Chain A
């Protein structure tokens, strides 16, 4: 099993540019989660999907952030326009089955974003 795959691993961009982060969940998993990790705020849930449908986006910081899941094997997190305070490590996680108490989230290696 390849695990959750995220790309790119590192992204450096200039303020105002559009940034797109990509995630391929583990095959067969029904739920997908996007997290942001910073020194100040730790790991924060941004949004999650069940069966490709966004369920809760209350963690998305502002309208500059958007996420999509066009099919069961792919999701994107887009920031437009990017700002220096968006610099963080962004993680994608997937879990195998919704509504099951032993449902465990598996994390990708993350994308380290630096906005200059």
Chain B
């Protein structure tokens, strides 16, 4: 089946540092998504990417949809304490009229003040 490899699995950084994480897949997706999950909550969408090569920003977050459609990265600049959480990439493809998601294993971000 489809699988996403997300790295790194965890990151321990100082407040103010930049963060970079990425996902690769053996399959092509028509959409890449990045979600963040806080403790005790469900994943919340951060950025959606719809076209190969697309580079999109949302505040301090920047994400790119790889040109091969099999990878994506997420960068966070100037990290702050509220960035702590688990970040998931997800590849989206259409199956029988519904957009089906495959998730990466997640990157757990810890920030030292």
Contacts and interface: CB of A to CB of B under 8 A. Distances in A.
B31 A101 contact: yes
A56 B42 CA distance: 22
Given A42-B105, A45-B101, A95-B99, A106 B94 contact: no
A56 B97 contact: no
A50 interface: yes
Interface of B: 30-31, 33, 35, 40-45, 48, 50, 88, 92, 94-106
A34 interface: no
Which 5 pairs show the lowest CB-CB distances between chains A and B?
Answer: A107-B42, A43-B103, A103-B99, A98-B97, A99-B97
Contacts of A45: 100-102
A107 B41 CA distance: 9
Interface of A: 4, 31, 33, 42-43, 45, 48, 50, 55-56, 91, 93, 95, 98-110
A110 B41 contact: yes
A101 B33 CA distance: 12
A114 to B, nearest CB: 14
Contact of A109 (B40, B88, B96, B98): B40
Contacts of B103: 42-43
25 contacts: A4-B42, A42-B104, A43-B88, A45-B100, A48-B98, A48-B100, A55-B96, A55-B98, A56-B96, A56-B98, A56-B100, A93-B42, A95-B98, A95-B99, A98-B99, A99-B97, A101-B30, A101-B31, A101-B50, A103-B99, A105-B45, A105-B99, A107-B42, A109-B41, A109-B42
